[in-house]
Structure formats: C-alpha cells, structure tokens
C-alpha cells in the first residue's frame, strides 16, 4: 500500500481564529511600517493601497455595513446553534460580484470582520460569510447561484450592476441591499474632505448604496463610538504556532499529520464543479480550513529553501503578479490571502491582457506570479515576438487550476533562459494547492510535485477500491486540515476515514512526486475556469426544441478545453419546422442550432458556450441508472 504523508508539518493554532485576524496579525508584518508598505497596486491607474490603509478600510467597511444595514446584518439576536458543519444556522451571506479590483480584498476581509462586533453582542461566533461570483456569469446564472446561498447583501462592480439588479430582482430583492463597488479616490488614498461629501449624491441610480457611502458611514460610526467590535484592536495577539519557533517540524513521514478538527464556522462559500458529480455546487470553507491552508502554504513556500537557496516566497520582499480572478479559490487564497499574510505586494489586474501583463513584469519588478495555462500560452506568444524576454526580476510563475500541457511548458522554456515555471494541484474542496513543484524543478506534462505540509494522499483503484502501488494509476485521495469536510446542507463530503475522493487519476513515484494523469470527474476546464456539464445541460433542456442533451469536453487551441453539446430534438416541437422546410433535415438542424446558440448566449456566461459545436443524435447513451455515458459520446 502506498500512503504518502508530507515530509514536514506546520503547526496550527490550538484555538479558533478568525481568518481575517490571522492575516492582519501575521508575524511577517510585525515591526513593519505599514503606512509605507504597499499591499496592492492597481496597474491601470497606478493607485497604491498600503497595508495600514487596507486594514483601516476593511475595519471601516465592517462598521459601515453594521451601521447602514441593521436588518441585513442584525446587531443582536439569540446565539445560534451550530449545524453539523459548525456553521451557525442564522448565517449571513454577503456576496461579491466583481472582476478583480483594488477594493475586493477590503470587502472580503471587512465583511469577515463584522463578526467581531456580532460575537460581542449575542449573535454567536462568525455568522457573517463571504461568497464570490464569477464576473462573467449572466443574470440567469447569478440568480440560480445566489438562490443556493441566500445572500443578505450584494456587493457589485458598477460595470456589472445591470446584471446584478436583474438577478437580484429574480430573487425578490430590491436594490437597497446592493452596494456598488465604486468609490472616490479618498477611499484609497486620503480621508474625505470635511463637509464636501454628499452621501445622497453618491447613491446608485436604482437605490443601491455605494462603497463610498458604506465607508463614510463606518467612519462616522467609529467617531461616535456607535460600533465597537469585540476584538477592536487590529494588533491583538493571534496564535500562529503551537510548536517550534517557525511552526515547522521535520520528519512527519514517520508520524501522523492528521490534526483533530476543531469546531469552526464557515468563512467563505465558493462554487465548485464538484469532484465527480460534474454539477456546480457551493462549497463552505471554514476559518480553520483557511488558516490551515495558509500555514501549509507558508510551510512549503516560505520556510523551505529551494534550489537557489532561497524560499519560494520571500516575506516582505516579493512583488506578485495578480492576474487570476479572486472569485476563484486559486485567486482568493493562493494569490490574495497568502501574499497578504506574507507581507508581499500584489499587482492586481482587473482583466487579463497578455501584452500589459508581460510589460508589468519589468515595470513593477515582479518576482512571482500565479497564472493558469491559457494565460501562459498567450504570454509566451507575446514574448516570442519581442527581441528580449529576460525579465531578470522574475523568479517563478505558478500554474494551477487546469492541466499544464507540454506545449505550454515548451513555450515558457523558449522565452526564458531559466526554469521559471511551477505546477500545482488543487481544487476548491481543498481550498488551494495541496501538491506543488519546487522552484527551478524541470517539468513534464502532468507533473504536479510533492505534498505541502500537513497533508496526506493515497492512490486507489477507482473500481475495486484497492490501494495501488508506486507508478500505478488510480484515483487520488487526499486528507488534511485544509480539506472541506461538510457540504452546505451539513452532509459529509469525505469518507468515514476523512479522505476526499478528488476524481483525478494520478500516479506517485518512489520519491513521492505525483503526476496527474486524467480526470474521472466530468468538469470541463475553459481558460482555467471549471465548467460543469450539468449546468449547460440544464439550460439546453429548458429549450422547447430539446428533449435530451449531454455535454462533453473537447480540446481547444487557446482555451485548453471547450464544451461540445449533443442534443436530441423534441419530435413534436420541431415537426412544424420540418413542414416549413419541406422535410429538409439539414435546414431544420440549422434553425435549431441557431436557436440553441442564441438561447445559450442569453442564459450562460461566455466560457460556458458550446464552442465545440452542437451535434444532433437520436439518443443520449446512458447506463441502466440513467447516468450519461460521456466516453461513448467522445467516440462519435
């Protein structure tokens, strides 16, 4: 039996810690001049947000929410009983619907900080939860997603307000509980001029509040002493280790790395395409999951020397390229939380533009970056057209969220004179990457590296359930404190021994390096974004011309993969079309295909469109229990 444990372990706090406090009170920020230390840069406007300003705005935002929305975020109710997942039954969800924005971390961290006040006023521990939404989703998709989390408040970017209002109204909500994520310059740089701010004039056109209003209300409340969080101090001691000075112990392969789970409420709800179901579902991520992930990543990235003698992440020193979206676990936790916890500076792009991103490496002296394979492909194509691509400050680029193909690896090698590419394996159900390669380590297709601290893995035959040996393929099972244990309804996500069945086919060699070979699960990776076939099928099945449908993944030259749809036409509904076109099969199929494309465009985000084509079949192949046999469709 091959049962792999991480070669080192990172100690965890013995008590519950709010994940926002864990970031704010990082030991890597101790003794720093936070007024001078830049946390985030907007490369479009060159606006800089210091750590001091970030922490102040987050706290001010939390006060403003409590002051402006007393019915949505009540100040006092009976303390709730935890659900099986350790989540209060009166959970208050605040949803963010925005592209990357310099104020995105302010909103996410500030919302979590609301719990300081609520805990001190009888609401129970950590009732306020942050949920994120892909900025590319249509109003139809947003409404469906939000219905599953029942958010009390919505924070939406101004460019997305039309879709946000439409989706919000589908849930029976009015715009008074929407906050527009726009703000004047003083929100980031200075205090508002006395007597020169008219809150009413800043209100949204349809009655929504603005970010500026919330911050103004928060500052006013602080001056009045109206909102006094239980943990007011932003420098209160937070336990970061329970062991050695740096929180690391070596030689964990001979001992256990399983930490007894502490009751911990939900901090974030992110959406995943699931492990094997292929259906997009909300995943509740607890404070302990996030704290454990940060300790694991810091153990792997900060405290472990790499081939060049330096750690992968150099605290308080490195500048990070931030191009992956923050609605995604890879963006929120690998990029944002880990960088802020380590005292780094994030160059945060609102959208990906390959030319601009490549230029930023030298402009901002970028040292490290988090990317997905399609981004890497576009960046290498840009760099190959230039005379020099050395970029001396860049140390590494971490790829994750989608398979790293040989073409991308070869392209990166061509444009750099050194090994800068790293790969990692992760998923929403394990918060961030759990397996990763080191800096300067030669890569091959599928090579994922070794386990990060505190984690375990094993390879199991997907049909027999028997353990397999070294270099034998099977399903990857993982276990550790960053693994999500419960679903939204409180049902268990892991098996009886705490193992999460990832749905990925992998092998592991005698040096404990993992290679991801294939996927059992059905999700499609489009530009690194997970697309659940079931989500597309649901939309297609709502079309009057369709009686059955199935979606598979096919290769795409730039996106990596894209959806292809197979449709069974409803004979009664299309009968008039056959009469109209004299029984011409191709003309009828053309009409139905055009109608389905228009239907899909209206109801689904761009990355979910069936760009692989719409093919008509007489029936969808299924097994006796009704499960779609997608492997048979791939052979058509």
pLDDT for position 149: 93
144: CB partners within 8 A, 6+ apart: none
Report the chain's C-alpha Rg in angstroms. Answer: 25
- CA angle 269/275/277 to nearest 5° reads 100
Q: What is the pTM of this model?
A: 0.82
pLDDT for position 522: 74
How confident is the chain (636 residues) per 10-residue block, as mean pLDDT? 73 80 93 95 93 94 91 54 48 94 96 80 67 94 94 95 96 94 66 41 68 91 69 41 35 33 77 62 93 89 78 94 95 96 97 95 96 89 82 92 82 86 93 91 89 93 85 92 89 92 91 86 81 85 92 90 95 94 95 96 93 94 71 82
Return the closest-CA partner of residue 383 out of 345, 417, 423, 348: 417
- Does 3-13+239-253+262-519 match 19-28+48-224 in CATH topology? yes
Helix (H, G, I), strand (E, B) or coil at 177: helix
173: CB partners within 8 A, 6+ apart: 154
- CA-CA-CA-CA torsion sign (459, 462, 466, 468): negative
DSSP secondary structure letter of residue 202 = H
Any idea which residue has 């059992």 for tokens?
520
Write b or e for each residue in 453-486: b if 16 or more Cβ atoms lie within 10 A of its Cβ, otherwise e. Answer: bbbbbbbbeeeeeeebeeeebbbbbbbbbbbbbb
Any idea which residue has 């099972």 for tokens?
477
Question: How far is the C-alpha of 540 from the C-alpha of 547, rounded, in Å?
Answer: 9
Q: How many helices (H) and strands (E) does the chain have?
A: 17, 28
Helix (H, G, I), strand (E, B) or coil at 319: strand
One DSSP character per residue, 477-542 reads EEESTTS--B-TTS-BSS-TTS-EEEEEEEEE-TT--EEEEEESS--EEETTEEE-HHHHHHHHHT
Question: How far is the C-alpha of 156 from the C-alpha of 142, rounded, in Å?
Answer: 12
Return the closest-CA partner of residue 114 out of 227, 271, 260, 26: 227
- CA angle 226/227/231 to nearest 5° reads 145
Residue spans per domain, the chain: 3-13+239-253+262-519, 19-28+48-224, 524-634
DSSP secondary structure letter of residue 438 = P
214: CB partners within 8 A, 6+ apart: 61, 64, 65, 68, 179
- CA-CA-CA-CA torsion sign (63, 69, 75, 77): negative
Question: How far is the C-alpha of 488 from the C-alpha of 266, rounded, in Å?
Answer: 10
pLDDT for position 512: 94
In this structure, the dihedral spanned by the alpha carbons of residues 203, 209, 210 and 212, taken in order and rounded to 10 degrees, is 90
Backbone angles phi, psi at 184, to 5 degrees: -70, 170
Q: Check if the beta carbon of residue 270 is closer than 8 Å to that of residue 329.
A: yes
Return the closest-CA partner of residue 347 out of 338, 337, 332, 357: 357
pLDDT for position 10: 74
How many other CB atoms are there within 10 angstroms of residue 355's CB atom? 13
566: CB partners within 8 A, 6+ apart: 549, 550, 551, 552, 614, 615, 616, 617, 620, 633, 636
Any idea which residue has 């490496």 for tokens?
361
Cite the beta strand spans of 262-360 per DSSP E: 266-272, 281-286, 319-322, 345-348
- Strand pairing class (447-451; 433-436): antiparallel
Please identify, in words, the CATH class of the domain defined by 524-634.
Answer: alpha beta
pLDDT for position 16: 77
**Integer angstrom CA distances of residue 434 from 39, 296, 333, 497:** 25, 8, 12, 19
Q: Check if the beta carbon of residue 231 is closer than 8 Å to that of residue 118.
A: no
Question: Which tokens hold the place of 115?
Answer: 């719990």
What's the CATH code, domain 3-13+239-253+262-519?
3.40.50.12780
Question: How far is the C-alpha of 475 from the C-alpha of 479, rounded, in Å?
Answer: 13
Strand partners, 524: 531
Question: How far is the C-alpha of 334 from the C-alpha of 294, rounded, in Å?
Answer: 8
The CATH fold assigned to 19-28+48-224 is: Rossmann fold (3.40.50)
pLDDT for position 122: 44
């Amino acid at each position: 039996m091959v049962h792999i444990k991480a070669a080192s372990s990172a100690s965890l706090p013995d008590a519950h810690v709010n994940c926002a406090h864990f970031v704010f009170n990082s030991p890597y920020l101790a003794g720093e001049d936070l007024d001078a230390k830049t946390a985030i840069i907007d490369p479009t406007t060159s606006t800089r947000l210091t750590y001091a300003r970030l922490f102040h705005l987050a706290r001010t935002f939390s006060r403003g929410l409590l002051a402006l929305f007393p019915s949505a975020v009540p100040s006092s109710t009976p303390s709730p009983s935890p659900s099986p997942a350790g989540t209060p039954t009166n959970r208050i969800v605040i949803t963010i619907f925005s592209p990357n924005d310099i104020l995105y971390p302010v909103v996410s961290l500030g919302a979590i900080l609301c719990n300081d006040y609520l805990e001190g006023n009888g609401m129970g521990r950590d009732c306020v939860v942050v949920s994120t939404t892909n900025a590319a989703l249509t109003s139809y998709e947003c409404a469906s997603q939000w219905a599953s989390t029942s958010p009390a408040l919505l924070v939406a970017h101004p460019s997305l307000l039309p879709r946000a209002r439409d989706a919000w109204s589908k849930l029976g909500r009015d715009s008074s509980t929407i906050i527009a994520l726009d703000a004047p310059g003083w929100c980031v740089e200075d205090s508002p001029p006395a007597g020169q701010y008219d809150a009413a004039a800043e209100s949204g056109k349809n009655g929504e509040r603005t970010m500026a209003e919330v911050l103004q209300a928060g500052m006013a409340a602080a001056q009045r002493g109206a909102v006094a969080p239980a943990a007011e101090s932003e420098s209160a001691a937070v336990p970061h280790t329970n062991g050695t000075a740096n929180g690391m112990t070596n030689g964990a392969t001979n001992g256990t790395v399983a930490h007894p789970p502490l009751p911990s409420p939900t901090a974030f709800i992110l959406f995943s395409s699931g492990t094997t179901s292929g259906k997009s579902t909300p995943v509740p991520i607890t404070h302990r999951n996030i704290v454990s992930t940060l300790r694991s990543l810091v153990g792997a990235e900060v405290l472990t020397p790499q081939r060049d003698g330096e750690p992968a992440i150099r605290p308080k020193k490195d500048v990070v390229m931030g191009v992956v979206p923050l609605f995604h676990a890879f963006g929120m936790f690998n990029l944002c939380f880990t960088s802020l916890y380590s005292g780094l500076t994030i160059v945060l792009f609102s959208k990906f533009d390959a030319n601009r991103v490549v230029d930023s490496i030298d402009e901002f002296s970028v040292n490290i970056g988090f990317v997905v394979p399609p981004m890497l492909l576009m960046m290498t194509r840009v760099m190959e057209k230039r005379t020099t691509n050395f970029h001396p400050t860049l140390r590494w680029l971490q790829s994750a969220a989608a398979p790293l193909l040989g073409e991308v690896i070869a392209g990166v090698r061509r444009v750099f004179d050194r090994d800068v590419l790293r790969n990692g394996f992760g998923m929403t159900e394990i918060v961030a990457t759990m397996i990763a390669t080191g800096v300067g380590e030669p890569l091959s297709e599928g090579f994922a590296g070794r386990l990060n601290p505190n984690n375990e893995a094993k390879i199991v035959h997907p049909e027999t359930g028997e353990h397999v040996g070294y270099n034998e393929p099977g399903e990857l099972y993982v276990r550790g404190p960053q693994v999500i244990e419960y679903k939204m309804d409180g049902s268990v996500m892991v098996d009886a021994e705490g193992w999460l069945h990832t749905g990925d086919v992998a092998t592991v060699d005698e040096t404990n390096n993992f290679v991801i070979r294939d996927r059992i699960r059905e999700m499609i990776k489009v530009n690194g974004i997970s697309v659940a076939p079931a989500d597309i099928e649901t939309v297609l099945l709502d079309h009057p011309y369709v009686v059955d449908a199935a979606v598979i993944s096919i290769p795409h030259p730039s996106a990596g993969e894209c959806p292809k749809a197979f449709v069974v036409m409803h004979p009664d509904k299309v009968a008039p079309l056959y009469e109209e076109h004299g029984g011409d099969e191709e003309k009828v199929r053309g009409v139905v295909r055009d109608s389905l494309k228009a239907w899909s465009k209206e109801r689904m985000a761009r990355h979910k469109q069936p760009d692989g084509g719409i093919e008509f079949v007489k029936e969808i192949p299924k097994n006796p229990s009704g499960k779609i046999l997608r492997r048979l469709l791939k052979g058509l």
